[in-house]
Structure 1
């Protein structure tokens, strides 16, 4: 970014032009933040008054000498100093309501549009300090007072407008970009509704998409991916909005860079995980699932799995999101020969990245693969694709049924152990309601156990004699029966919520009831 002629010579930053720039004055001002060691209301009023005076002087000087930068240079430096002094306020968040009542917020925010980019950057750093989590911790009321005032005075619009004029070829501008994103994150932390407000009122989503599309990695690309994930999390409005902006395709392009290579650093790993978080959030609305399939997202995820790179587990997760309650994605998965890759993982042939070793990582992948296969069964109800899916459990002497029962026993034992532990806690007078107990069991593995039982229900309803015999024999070997599977299915049936609507709840309950009826009808001897 070129230095405007109107920029104060004492505030210009070195940009590699070989010119001699005097930083002595700025360096002398660095200690100004500690000028007020103990801040109280009286000291705050003094700071604000001094700031307003310097602001007024600068405005007047610029109006009087618009084409003579040397005539307003001193006022620019003095204004910079006053903004730096205000940063001490972050150590006294209890005074934020007073900052608001003194009507200083509009004046501060107005400087985000200052002709001198350095002054605007000063304000960005100030806002990041004031809204930092450490400053706001245990100060909910003052934090809300400040954030409400900032939002009411268009902080979101002004921050994003300033963001768009920063150049990331300059280190100081890059730092300002980072602090701008940090401020947005801080605002959302205090006031979650900001996540939708900023997307409604500004072009931040567009800026973030442009940033993550860049091929070169830097810390701001990583942070942009994190902010995008935060904006999409728990916001169907933002998910749909980004989908309409070709967001699904852009995120897939960003992910595709890693289809045959691994991230080089832990920071780049975090970028990739953020991108997949974005993708999974985007895949919540039905229309975005359609965009994902059209953009050949299914094929890309299968390629990533086949390459067995760092993103392997994330690709499985994205596929599961895409195929949940969306048959076209399931059908595409079968059509592009994804079954072989999925069942290779199901059989335990899961690559573990050297930087992702550990029992929990292995389990997470297992659980996600089980969920993916359950989604396939739910999405493909008939036809040749269904036959191809079922045939996987017959080949190689029903080895996949053996594997399924192995997982069933493991998760069943884990849930039983957790149930016993919870019963003991009840005896120890630690009261928990039924919902809390059920949620604890889900976290301990009940959810995956339920999915395994659902897959068993699909297999049993196929009426394939070989598969039925294999399932019964394996249950008997463990001194179990179909009634145990039916009990798991019944508990699932009774706890299905209506988050996805009453029609989906009814459809799922009917499916589970069908499994239970089929299992019980062939089990009279028990």
Structure 2
């Protein structure tokens, strides 16, 4: 079973307002050992670029009359990179020379911050990204994620978010791939997650940096889907997300953490298994249990709850996680949520549908804990509806409920449970059979109408291959007819 294509996490979120860097930070008293400098600059003997070129470029710029707004081209890029590398080197040298005198390297830190701010202009010219990579500036930029001064690391996070933003990379596929490959090859994933672990939600600037880090990870996945597996394989991001989701209080970063988790689990069996082994099923059940008898207070909190349920559905793909779901009393929790008839009602039905598919133990537990009464009440149309719920909402629930019933018949083949299931269809003068036929006729008519419409399109000389026509019929209700009704 696949996640409903109508809700996908590959669509970008509306971003919060851009983070504005704080005033120049107070000097950090942290020290830097020689290994950091050696790692990036080879003991200071070989900088990434020839800094003597900077003066030549600046002289040429003055002679050509430049001085106002600069054209963003390769010439400007080289100047920016050279200036950044010089400030980077000066800062490292100052920290190495005066490790116990922060006032002696504070100025170089401010200048480094200013150079990072200047680099943000590169987001206006993504076609220059391959040149940025060729200039070998990526290792230096990424290396600053582990800078002792977290304000510098925050600057880098903001820069990376800007450079990888969807609006920037749109229609620049090849430059985007070049940049993302270079970032990943230079361990940006490891350094981003190491940095996020030292950031605090109590500091507004660091809280904004947490959000920007998650945005950057999402941007990287958008360009290179394999990053979803890599970031979980190489880093402790999943563990960090668990900690964030466990927090009871709601904030924008918890919301975004829930979305990133759904993205990571959506198309990766490996991540689904990893998260299951980290007690992920129980973590998500506890998170959604907070809303079993109450509704989210805001639309953002409602979105977070949907993300958590999406993650739970993804997590229930591997059979071993379905077993964990049963042991964690997930079936009972979903039934309670249905009985409470709050906003999570439909999501609970969706989770049960995923859990029951091809896994009889869930079906058996569902019958044992008296879930049939609740499910068939919904099947008969007793669905809580609010004014803002559209007709399609009810149709989706009907499809899920039919799917659940089909799974029950497929998973319970004999014994008293089977008899209890069958007895539901003879109650009240077989009203549930009438309901089943009503839905069957409706979906049959819908598929017939779609088939006739497609035939008319062919008569009008509108080309459509057989696969596309079949998909159109599936969307109109053929899937429910073929897979679900004929299973009952």
**Common fold: TM-score over 0.5:** yes
Residue 269 of structure 1: aligned partner: 302
Q: Tell me how far apart the structure 1 counterparts of residues 457 and 267 of structure 2 sit (CA, whole Å).
A: 33
Change (3 A) 1:349 1:12: farther
Q: CA deviation at 1:36?
A: 5.2
Root mean square deviation, CA, Å: 1.5
CA distance in 1, matches of 2:374, 2:176: 50
Distance in 2 between residues matched to 1:440 and 1:258, nearest whole Å: 36
Stretches of structure 2 that go unaligned for 5 or more consecutive residues are: 1-21, 28-66
Q: Does 1:370 align with 2:398?
A: no
Call closer, same or farther: CA 1:35–1:281 in 2, change over 3 Å.
Answer: farther
Q: Aligned partners of 1:321, 1:102: CA distance in 2, in Å?
A: 49
SS at match of 2:413: coil
Contact 1:240 / 1:285 at 8 angstroms: preserved in 2?
yes
Structure-1 residue corresponding to 2:53:
none
Q: CA shift at 1:411, angstroms?
A: 0.9
- The ranges of structure 1 where at least 4 consecutive aligned residues each deviate by more than 6 angstroms after the TM superposition are none
Contact 2:276 2:321 in 1 (8 A): yes
The TM-score with structure 2 as length reference comes to 0.86
8 Å CA contact 1:9, 1:73 repeated in 2? no
Distance 1:343 1:199, change over 3 A: same
Equivalent position SS for 1:344: helix
In the alignment, what sits opposite 1:260?
A: 293
Residue number in structure 1 paired with 2:372: 339
For residues 251 and 113 of structure 2, the distance between their equivalents in structure 1, rounded to whole angstroms, comes to 29
User: Whole-Å Cα distance in 2 between the matches of residues 365 and 37 of structure 1?
Assistant: 57
Moved more, 438-447 or 309-318: 438-447
How far apart are the structure 1 equivalents of 2:307 and 2:419? 37
1:394 aligned to 2:394? Answer: no
The answer to whether 1:56 aligns with 2:127 is no
User: Larger Cα Rg: Structure 1 or Structure 2?
Assistant: 1
TM-score normalised by structure 1 residue count:
0.80
Once the two structures are TM-superposed, the CA of residue 449 in structure 1 deviates from its matched residue by 2.1
Distance in 2 of aligned mates of 1:43 and 1:362: 57
Pair 1:247-2:274 in alignment: no
Q: For residues 447-482 of structure 1, what are the alpha-carbon distances to aligned partners after superposition, in whole Å with 9 as ceiling and x for unaligned?
A: 122245324xx4xxxxxxxxxxxxxxxxxxxxxxxx
Note if contact 1:36-1:43 (Cα within 8 Å) is conserved in structure 2.
Answer: no
TM-superposed CA distance for 1:436, in Å, is 1.7
Shift of 1:425: 1.1
Structure 1: gaps spanning 5 or more residues = 1-7, 14-33, 459-526
Instruction: Please say if residues 406 and 485 of structure 2, whose CA atoms lie closer than 8 Å, have aligned partners that are also in contact.
Output: no
Q: Contact conserved, 1:35 with 1:85, CA < 8 A, in 2? A: no
- Which whole-Å deviations, capped at 9, do the CAs of 1:68-93 have from their partners, x for residues lacking one? 11111110000000000000000100
Which residue number in structure 2 is paired with residue 178 of structure 1?
A: 211
Distance 2:70 2:451 in 1: 56
CA distance in 1, matches of 2:68, 2:235: 37
Q: 1:123 aligns with which of 127, 135, 156?
A: 156
- Where relative contact order (Cα < 8 A, 6+ residues apart) is larger, the structure is 2
SS at match of 2:428: helix
Please give the residue correspondences for 1:408-487 in structure 2 after superposition, counting only pairs within 5 Å: 408-455=440-487, 458=488
Task: State the match for 2:45 in structure 1.
Answer: none
Task: Report matched runs for 1:179-328 at 5 Å.
Answer: 179-328=212-361
Deviations 1:288-324 (A, max 9, x none): 0000000000000000000000000000000010000
**How many Å separate the matches in 2 of 1:49 and 1:289?**
55
Q: Secondary structure at the match of 1:320?
A: helix
Of 414, 417, 421, the residue aligned with 1:385 is 417
Q: 1:67 to 1:36 in 2, by over 3 A?
A: farther
Task: Provide the C-alpha distance between the structure 1 equivalents of 2:295 and 2:439, rounded to a whole number of angstroms.
Answer: 30
Q: Contact between 1:86 and 1:126, CA under 8 Å: does it hold in 2? A: yes
* Alignment-derived partner of residue 33 in structure 2: none
